[in-house]
Amino acid sequence: MSPEGLRALLEGVREGRISPDDALERLRQLPFEDLGFAKVDHHRALRRGFPEAIFGAGKSPDQVRAIVESIVGRGQNVLVTRAGREVFEGVAALRPEAEYHEAARCISVRVAPTALLGGRVAVACAGTSDVPVAEEAAVTASFHGAEVDRVYDVGVAGLHRLLDRAPLIRAADVVIVAAGMEGALPSVVAGIVEAPVVAVPTSVGYGASFHGLAALLAMLNSCASGVAVVNIDNGFGAGYLASLILRRLAKRAGG
Amino acid sequence: MSPEGLRALLEGVREGRISPDDALERLRQLPFEDLGFAKVDHHRALRRGFPEAIFGAGKSPDQVRAIVESIVGRGQNVLVTRAGREVFEGVAALRPEAEYHEAARCISVRVAPTALLGGRVAVACAGTSDVPVAEEAAVTASFHGAEVDRVYDVGVAGLHRLLDRAPLIRAADVVIVAAGMEGALPSVVAGIVEAPVVAVPTSVGYGASFHGLAALLAMLNSCASGVAVVNIDNGFGAGYLASLILRRLAKRAGG
Amino acid sequence: MSPEGLRALLEGVREGRISPDDALERLRQLPFEDLGFAKVDHHRALRRGFPEAIFGAGKSPDQVRAIVESIVGRGQNVLVTRAGREVFEGVAALRPEAEYHEAARCISVRVAPTALLGGRVAVACAGTSDVPVAEEAAVTASFHGAEVDRVYDVGVAGLHRLLDRAPLIRAADVVIVAAGMEGALPSVVAGIVEAPVVAVPTSVGYGASFHGLAALLAMLNSCASGVAVVNIDNGFGAGYLASLILRRLAKRAGG
Amino acid sequence: MSPEGLRALLEGVREGRISPDDALERLRQLPFEDLGFAKVDHHRALRRGFPEAIFGAGKSPDQVRAIVESIVGRGQNVLVTRAGREVFEGVAALRPEAEYHEAARCISVRVAPTALLGGRVAVACAGTSDVPVAEEAAVTASFHGAEVDRVYDVGVAGLHRLLDRAPLIRAADVVIVAAGMEGALPSVVAGIVEAPVVAVPTSVGYGASFHGLAALLAMLNSCASGVAVVNIDNGFGAGYLASLILRRLAKRAGG
Amino acid sequence: MSPEGLRALLEGVREGRISPDDALERLRQLPFEDLGFAKVDHHRALRRGFPEAIFGAGKSPDQVRAIVESIVGRGQNVLVTRAGREVFEGVAALRPEAEYHEAARCISVRVAPTALLGGRVAVACAGTSDVPVAEEAAVTASFHGAEVDRVYDVGVAGLHRLLDRAPLIRAADVVIVAAGMEGALPSVVAGIVEAPVVAVPTSVGYGASFHGLAALLAMLNSCASGVAVVNIDNGFGAGYLASLILRRLAKRAGG
Amino acid sequence: MSPEGLRALLEGVREGRISPDDALERLRQLPFEDLGFAKVDHHRALRRGFPEAIFGAGKSPDQVRAIVESIVGRGQNVLVTRAGREVFEGVAALRPEAEYHEAARCISVRVAPTALLGGRVAVACAGTSDVPVAEEAAVTASFHGAEVDRVYDVGVAGLHRLLDRAPLIRAADVVIVAAGMEGALPSVVAGIVEAPVVAVPTSVGYGASFHGLAALLAMLNSCASGVAVVNIDNGFGAGYLASLILRRLAKRAGG
Amino acid sequence: MSPEGLRALLEGVREGRISPDDALERLRQLPFEDLGFAKVDHHRALRRGFPEAIFGAGKSPDQVRAIVESIVGRGQNVLVTRAGREVFEGVAALRPEAEYHEAARCISVRVAPTALLGGRVAVACAGTSDVPVAEEAAVTASFHGAEVDRVYDVGVAGLHRLLDRAPLIRAADVVIVAAGMEGALPSVVAGIVEAPVVAVPTSVGYGASFHGLAALLAMLNSCASGVAVVNIDNGFGAGYLASLILRRLAKRAGG
Amino acid sequence: MSPEGLRALLEGVREGRISPDDALERLRQLPFEDLGFAKVDHHRALRRGFPEAIFGAGKSPDQVRAIVESIVGRGQNVLVTRAGREVFEGVAALRPEAEYHEAARCISVRVAPTALLGGRVAVACAGTSDVPVAEEAAVTASFHGAEVDRVYDVGVAGLHRLLDRAPLIRAADVVIVAAGMEGALPSVVAGIVEAPVVAVPTSVGYGASFHGLAALLAMLNSCASGVAVVNIDNGFGAGYLASLILRRLAKRAGG
């Protein structure tokens, strides 16, 4: 119920068309979100104006397809993460506009134009094994309307490759850095850029990497200020956060 | 060495005033940062145009005072975090413009005007014990030029207090959320705002909180997208990251 | 040996039919539980008047079937948890009254009427991935005679869905809350109800969820009083505990 | 705003005394909790009809005294946990009815009669070192109106002491069990009672007890059904949860 | 109640001096341990024929003195572990026969002769920092009647010292090995002896020793069979276990 | 080289049959263990007079068969642990006297008589899922010559079953207790016996059992003295340690 | 750009053939590594003069083959670690000079002569299960030009085997020690050699070995000085580090 | 007993001056190390030709002084680590040649000339808080005869400072890198040098650094080959290991 709806209700009461008891009952029944003054109510993804995303892990191809159809049927774009090719094929059979991002293991279905955010996200990663996580971040940011530059395989043991690509990284509004093993790359990157850095620990490694714990702890303890961290392998989260930041930029620029 | 400096050197060589060998030697000797084309060189804080900050923990009042003097002596503002009152008194004896932020345990010394960032940061915290960390974040953001709204004592066990303050939180460009114990507040906040959320786990709690580990893990696993996490009790890091984001906004708005 | 049995023994001694030595030997041999004054002896499930339950994980279909038959053969109801459909089919071949609770992965066989406990249990869960654990709790409580209301998919990132369902939750005598990832839901629920809350961390999540550890720690550190926690994924334990509480209510109401 | 208040507002609108715009504004301004239909708003402790409690750790005697005065000044009882004798003396100077529970390190101030809950809580603990935590639970339950039986020093290495006291434990509506070290007592107790068991791990122990972690894990893995766990050393939480259960009993008995 | 006592009771019933009801009541009232056939009842330390021991940590000198007096007053020997010199002085003022074992931080008070166990315990430790734990084990075993050989400072980085002392170690019936840091000594010792080895990890070390965790894990993973482990720094437990083994030897030898 | 062998060598030198240089060379070449005075040399299992055992996990059937043949070919008995039925079949094809202990997943091959140790080991376990580990311990102790009593399914949630079997447990010279989940059984057993207790945590459980860690920590923190712990699931280690203790008894009894 | 290249550039400027602006642009564009004075640029493996190595885990046979071909095609040798036989077969089909090191699960392809390092590496391991890791180290060191002595199956529970082989170990310039379970071997070895010891924890073990964590912690806490540790199962890292040390020796010897 | 000593013994036997029984007894009694062929016997520090070192933590000034005197009295140099100024003053009162290394908290006493090792060790550290650990390493290496270059405050967030100092680091035979927080520096350094890198995690940091665990894990997972790790804060161990490597160099160069 919007403020307008609420005013209409109150007008109805004033005019005697609606009894106070009926009005009370209607207010009681309504979901909070419809009151307008609370705004806790809008579905979160819709409220943000961003299309929806589905976490594909643990869902069957049929389940994914059903959810995709339900969203796309409302005319909205949708992104599916952690989806294998067999899931994609099920979706593509239904919606030929579906696109598979192999390296990211993501499916995007666009049935509406993407509102461009007008900002740049640089996605860096340390080694080739980190690419799937980096790609999930890149595809996510791109899906939400960001321009994305990929700067891959720039691990700290070969600084020159990173320094070579520094101008590209420095041009970004937000930098996403994915790294496994010792997770050192975000600290080094944050030292050479002015933008906020979103660090994504990956589960790449073995032994004392403890499935990404080593990289996670390293990133949380970064000696460089301006770094925040998302969950291990959470490329989507990083890409989404970057998109939120760009949206603020877009609003400010447009305001 | 700026691009201008480098060009001057090369001109010197062309004009014969400087021999190639001397030029080679000077290039070899110079710190990278002086070459201009690399830009890895500027002191990080300066390069970002932000004043410097000192992590006060483990430093003696004398050490802090000396560093403050060295920075302020160059005409720059400075922020000292994790500083007790006795440290402040030492600094204030030297620099009467020093200001003590008791709740944040921070000292700020402003000898130059602060460039306003023109954006808002909301700083929320769950309980009164989380206030010192929240204040460190708030003072940091404010010191860097942000406008800061404090929304304290809005823990998830009393939702109405949080919902009451929701409009203030939703008005922010960046939201910082500090919480100890179960660390649930960032997820709830991220569900009602459009802005990026920077979560700060605090070491508030006992027993199985394991000095903030419980809150840290909770925040990394947030079911709400758009949340990134900094180290336990790292209010400064959150405030600094928020300031970086606002700076991008300011540049964009100004561009 | 009941008090009556013991008295009979002592009468036998007094009447000279049983020698003191024989009586001594019989007392020595008897299991403690038969003495009547100890009451450590009754099989626990029977003593509580609750039907038995079988933890199905790690048991073969044949083993489950044999145990079920042994219990049902004594005229008792039985619940099997963590049982796949193939286990169910084995049981159903033997006992057509067996019922399969697909979402809970539980089998119930009722050959005797269930004593209703006359109280309500609300079972809430955060996301669809938590449903199997929530269902295990719901089926368990229902099997023991509770009336169960399910309030699913009310994660803290979408507060309005939770608040919409608040009346149903507030109507319960005991609330069970299952959540994975950051495990924040029990704290939020405990803040809006008067009843005790039994929290069940689930292993839903990845990376730094560490198979449910993040949710477990969060729940143990709940800022809301009135929350107690069971093992990760232990829906049965939560449902059973809720049933025990309702039994006290039933006794009190009936007394 | 109660339902009555809301109806009055609507009547005012109908009668033309209040314009729809004014009514809209007043609804918009009011805290949620005043709407009556939402009920998210009442202060949690008040809503439950329980007096308030203060976690004393980390608060100065002055802070505690001020909070106590504020609550008592409204005519409410108050409980302070984790309070040393010096805190008590400050409170007692102000309020002579303050009572110090030395073993529990709690202060209670009763200025209003306690509503008795009419049920029994048995509080058991394993060793003498666990007594402070057990006493915090006992004092909390008693403060909230429960009748409390203490069964201390009944560790599992001396079963006879536990079995001797079994009748007392079995008479309880809720059993609280505090234990450190290996944390085995709740499992043994749950095996001999019909009531729900609230287990409190204590930080008693050394070495591989890891400050209560060993006991916590043991209790979460209890082989006995009907056990739920609160945080390490959280005697208050256990006593509060037990009181909530008794309140349901009281309501049912009274209904 | 001993078997004799029970028989007397039954005789009383047979002879009509005691009614069956009275007998029933007396049996019901008596603590289990008095029935004789249960034997769960004797105080554990007494039942084993061993004198009592007090864990001194966390007890005040007054508390320790009171407990010592209570035990010694019954004519029994007593051992106090983890006791500083000031505790000893309190005890010695009361009981001049008290003896202080400085290195072990133990007090022994012997008012009755110690029954010798007739077997040897070798106590080995790796470094001088492990001596307090080793001494606690040695004093405990000696107090219970074992002959003890000390083999200290035989860490694995200097094998010759260990091998030099090998004959002494091999002469023991039980070998106790205390070691911190990497905890390797028990494995090496178990490789050169025929006797069972009781390993005691100590909290000696820093950094990644994690207060004895490294040594504990190492000992649990010993590649040498015949090693069992007690808690970190638990010298008493090792000494007590060794004494239990020697008692079996003594019984066997004497049988 | 035995002491006799060394004396013979020295006699050879004295009699001039062996030159000092040759003797020196032979001493230098010989493995330490042949010197007799060192005794570090005998293969450990042989030295202890115990037959050899093979850890079967991670070895192929062919590898196990080859090792078995090599040992049995020297006329020695052998035990294989962690061996599936297919491994047994390979061994049995070669050595028909091989025996498969299904529940323990062990193979024993006896080609020489077992020297009986003349003592009793009681092996207790908490639940049916702990039986494989308990059986590994029982088979190991039996293989080494112990008489073994099995006391299974006596978990602490059903004390009467344990107390019923108490006489059998108390008759043992060594008690082995295997338990998973909360690992409470060893503490309870140690409270009712006089013999040393060897505790074996098992990996039985889920969630916060962390693959046996909960049980391991509980056992290390046992409030009952006289308990030592082996690695998770290490039934062999417990059985072997018990056998070592019995051997000391046998020597003492025979001496 | 080498120093010569830079001087040529500067000469060009001096002679007027190159304008300062053009020179500035060329300097700006060049990767750092081409400046000669920075030397951050050379590919790391090439710079060290060592052939390249590929971490085979997680790469498909096709991927490995492509990388191998690319390296070998430039005339360089290559080593592939963590490669199964099926990967080898793919490589061998392409490059018949490929050699498979079965125990190490490594492939080496040598198309150029190996520069011998002229030093010895001893590789020791505790048990037969540690051999794959030890072999990875041995093959790596050998591939880089070291002479390697293998000293396997010298676990600390059988000291004589280790002492027998001590001369071989003491002859080495660097000693690599691989051990799982309690990880004690490096400490013992470091006690009997003069050379630096590189310890490799292996994931051999079960239960409380926690996949190599126990061995890792033990090695980090070695009581013997002169031990450094690499990641769990990182035989390659140990072999590579040993080769680096030998290279220093070779340079010194040659200098 | 040296080979010569053994030959003399055997000669004595041959000549009849020593009976075989006496010889046997002497051989049995002698420590292994005297046999000459075993060489397990020499005190480890002496054998390596390095002076002794004392770990000062946990030792009283008197204890340290006594040990120092005992060593210096034999004409040997000695190093004391983890020693405060008050310990130094005690030592200096006795031995005026004692030198205090304030930043390293080490005392060195040189009464004999130091054998120079003829190689260079570079010691780098990330921040000023890491200096004490770095200095402990530097003083240790210097004490053992290395030439040491210090490269401090070159954290990865300011790459230019590190790159500026790269030539100095690259000139070293061994590089020691101390870093706390995220522990990234060793990976970056290993990427720009040819020498082996010894990484020392420090306990610098807070929150999720977990007292150095984050840095430790990062270093163990270094993506750069050629890095080995010592215990947290173990500057001595790193310096000692570097010295051992230099000794090999010295021998090789001299051979």
Chain F residue with minimum CA distance to H33: F38
Element (H, E) at A109: strand A106-109
Chain C residue with minimum CA distance to A28: C164
Chain H residue with minimum CA distance to F19: H14
pLDDT of residue H250: 87
Please tell me which residue, E30 or F227, carries the higher pLDDT value: F227
**Would the CB atoms of C218 and B218 count as touching at under 8 Å?**
yes
- Based on the number of CB atoms within 10 Å of its own CB, is F17 exposed (0-12), middle (13-18) or buried (19 or more)? exposed
Euclidean distance between CA atoms C239 and G48, whole angstroms: 64
Q: Mind listing the pLDDT tens digit for each residue in H175-203?
A: 999 999 999 999 999 998 989 999 999 99
pLDDT of residue D24: 64
Euclidean distance between CA atoms D134 and D131, whole angstroms: 5
G192 to chain F, any CB pair closer than 8 A? The answer is no
Q: Is E in contact with G (3 or more beta carbon pairs below 8 Å)?
A: yes
In the chain, the amino acid numbered B214 is A
Residue E39 clears pLDDT 60, i.e. is over it: no
Token look-up 């989940």 returns F181
Residue A45 clears pLDDT 50, i.e. is over it: no
Percentage above 70 pLDDT, chain A:
86
Neighbour tally for H57: CB within 10 Å: 12
Q: Mind listing the pLDDT tens digit for each residue in F184-235?
A: 999 999 998 989 999 999 999 999 999 999 999 999 999 899 999 999 999 9
Which chain G residues contact residue H228 at CB under 8 A? Answer: 198, 228-230, 237-238, 241
Chain-centre distance for alpha carbon D57: 16
In the chain, the amino acid numbered C232 is I
- F199-F202-F204 Cα angle (round to 5): 145
Could you tell me which residues come within 8 angstroms of residue F125 by beta carbon, excluding any fewer than 6 positions away? Answer: F131, F133, F134, F151, F152, F153, F154, F177, F178, F179, F185, F202
Contact yes or no for B131/B101 (Cβ under 8 A): no
Could you tell me which residues come within 8 angstroms of residue A156 by beta carbon, excluding any fewer than 6 positions away? Answer: A126, A162, A184, A185, A188, H156, H184, H187, H188, H191, H223, H224
Contact yes or no for D171/D149 (Cβ under 8 A): yes
Q: Is C in contact with G (3 or more beta carbon pairs below 8 Å)?
A: no
Residue E58 clears pLDDT 90, i.e. is over it: no
Long-range pairs of A9-13 with CB within 8 A, sequence gap ≥ 24: A10/D10, A10/D13, A10/D20, A10/D23, A10/D24, A11/D20, A13/D10, A13/D13, A13/D14
Quote the tokens at residue C190. 């405990």
pLDDT of residue D1: 45
Place E36 in a pLDDT band, splitting at 50, 70 and 90: very low
The average pLDDT across G95-101 equals: 96
Place D251 in a pLDDT band, splitting at 50, 70 and 90: confident
Euclidean distance between CA atoms B141 and B121, whole angstroms: 7
Could you tell me which residues come within 8 angstroms of residue G230 by beta carbon, excluding any fewer than 6 positions away? Answer: G198, G199, G200, G237, G238, G241, H220, H227, H228, H229
- Based on the number of CB atoms within 10 Å of its own CB, is D60 exposed (0-12), middle (13-18) or buried (19 or more)? exposed
pLDDT of residue B71: 87
Among E residues 194-233, those touching chain D with beta carbons less than 8 Å apart: 201, 203, 211-213, 216, 231-233
A33 to chain C, any CB pair closer than 8 A? The answer is yes
Place C12 in a pLDDT band, splitting at 50, 70 and 90: confident
> Using CB atoms, which residue from B32, B201, B232 is nearest to H160?
B32
Q: Distance from first CA to last CA of chain D, Å, rounded?
A: 27
Residue A198 clears pLDDT 50, i.e. is over it: yes
Backbone conformation region of residue B211, classed left if phi is above 0, alpha if psi is from -120 to 50, else beta: left
Residue C55 clears pLDDT 70, i.e. is over it: yes
Question: Over chain E, what is the mean pLDDT?
Answer: 86
Dihedral sign from CA coordinates of B59, B65, B66, B71: positive
Contact yes or no for G244/H195 (Cβ under 8 A): yes
Euclidean distance between CA atoms B228 and B230, whole angstroms: 7
Q: Mind listing the pLDDT tens digit for each residue in A93-116?
A: 999 999 999 999 999 999 999 989
Cβ pairs A/H, distance under 8 A: 126
- Mean pLDDT highest for which of A165-169, A234-238, B22-26, C40-44? A234-238
pLDDT of residue D255: 52
Question: Over chain D, what is the mean pLDDT?
Answer: 86
pLDDT of residue H255: 52
Neighbour tally for E20: CB within 10 Å: 18
Place G4 in a pLDDT band, splitting at 50, 70 and 90: low
Residue F25 CA: distances (Å) to CA of A165, F17, F18, F101, H244: 67, 15, 11, 49, 32
Residue C187 clears pLDDT 90, i.e. is over it: yes
B57 to chain H, any CB pair closer than 8 A? The answer is yes
pLDDT of residue E76: 87
Element (H, E) at B106: strand B106-109
Q: Give the strand order in the sheet containing C147-151.
A: C147-151, C120-125, C174-179, C197-201, C227-229, D227-229, D197-201, D174-179, D120-125, D147-151
Chain G residue with minimum CA distance to A165: G31
Q: Mind listing the pLDDT tens digit for each residue in F42-98?
A: 334 444 568 889 999 988 899 899 989 988 988 889 999 999 999 999 999 999 999
Query: Of the given ranges (D81-85, D143-147, F110-114, H163-167), which has the lowest mean pLDDT?
Result: H163-167
pLDDT of residue C18: 82
Element (H, E) at H197: strand H197-201
Question: Over chain C, what is the mean pLDDT?
Answer: 86
Chain-centre distance for alpha carbon B84: 19
Percentage above 90 pLDDT, chain D:
62
Contact yes or no for G24/G57 (Cβ under 8 A): no
The C-alpha of D230 sits at a distance from chain B's nearest C-alpha, in angstroms, of 10
H235, H241, H246, H248: CA torsion to nearest 10: 170
Which chain H residues contact residue F36 at CB under 8 A? Answer: 28
Give, for all 255 residues of chain B, the pLDDT tens digit.
Answer: 445 666 677 778 777 788 777 776 666 444 333 332 222 233 344 445 688 899 999 888 998 999 899 889 888 899 999 999 999 999 999 999 999 999 999 999 999 999 899 899 999 999 989 999 999 999 999 999 999 999 999 999 888 788 888 889 999 999 999 999 999 999 999 998 989 999 999 999 999 999 999 999 999 999 899 999 999 999 999 999 999 999 998 887 765
Per the DSSP assignment, residues forming a β-bridge with F178 are F125, F200
pLDDT of residue A133: 97
pLDDT of residue B81: 96
Percentage above 90 pLDDT, chain E:
61
The average pLDDT across C49-72 equals: 88
Place F6 in a pLDDT band, splitting at 50, 70 and 90: low
Contact yes or no for D124/D152 (Cβ under 8 A): yes
Which chain D residues contact residue F220 at CB under 8 A? Answer: 182, 207-208, 214
Quote the tokens at residue H208. 């999720």
Dihedral sign from CA coordinates of D211, E187, E142, F196: positive
Place H39 in a pLDDT band, splitting at 50, 70 and 90: very low
Residue G172 clears pLDDT 60, i.e. is over it: yes
How many CA within 13 A on the CB side of residue F24? 19
Contact yes or no for H144/H239 (Cβ under 8 A): yes
Quote the tokens at residue H215. 């840095």
Residue D13 CA: distances (Å) to CA of A34, A80, C113, D32: 21, 50, 56, 20
Among C residues 122-181, those touching chain A with beta carbons less than 8 Å apart: 129, 157-160, 163-164
Q: Mind listing the pLDDT tens digit for each residue in D47-103?
A: 456 888 999 998 889 989 998 998 898 888 999 999 999 999 999 999 999 999 999
Place A48 in a pLDDT band, splitting at 50, 70 and 90: low
Euclidean distance between CA atoms B67 and B51, whole angstroms: 13
Residue H206 clears pLDDT 50, i.e. is over it: yes
pLDDT of residue D234: 97
Q: Is H in contact with C (3 or more beta carbon pairs below 8 Å)?
A: no
Phi (first) and psi of residue D201, to 5 degrees: -70, 140
Which chain D residues contact residue C248 at CB under 8 A? Answer: 119, 173-174, 195-196, 245, 249
Q: Give the strand order in the sheet containing C78-81.
A: C52-55, C78-81, C106-109, C98-101
Residue H62 clears pLDDT 80, i.e. is over it: yes
Quote the tokens at residue F250. 């046998």
Please tell me which residue, C38 or G154, carries the higher pLDDT value: G154
Neighbour tally for F208: CB within 10 Å: 27
Residue H41 clears pLDDT 70, i.e. is over it: no
The average pLDDT across G3-8 equals: 64
How long, in residues, is chain C? 255
Contact yes or no for C253/D238 (Cβ under 8 A): no
> Using CB atoms, which residue from E39, E221, E241 is nearest to F228?
E241
**Would the CB atoms of H208 and B213 count as touching at under 8 Å?**
yes
C-alpha closest to that of G136 among G222, G238, G213: G238
**Would the CB atoms of D37 and A21 count as touching at under 8 Å?**
no
Euclidean distance between CA atoms G67 and G79, whole angstroms: 11
Residue H169 CA: distances (Å) to CA of H136, H159, H180, H184: 18, 14, 19, 16
Residue C100 CA: distances (Å) to CA of B162, C86, C90, C103, C109: 43, 11, 11, 9, 9
Residue E5 clears pLDDT 50, i.e. is over it: yes
Residue E1 clears pLDDT 80, i.e. is over it: no
Residue A1 clears pLDDT 70, i.e. is over it: no
Chain D residue with minimum CA distance to A31: D38
DSSP secondary structure, H33-102, as one string: GGGSSS---S-HHHHTTPPEEEE-TT--HHHHHHHHHHHHTTT--EEEES--HHHHHHHHHH-TTEEEET
Please tell me which residue, A16 or E184, carries the higher pLDDT value: E184
Please tell me which residue, D237 or D31, carries the higher pLDDT value: D237
pLDDT of residue F13: 78
**Would the CB atoms of G240 and H226 count as touching at under 8 Å?**
yes
pLDDT of residue E49: 63
pLDDT of residue H139: 98
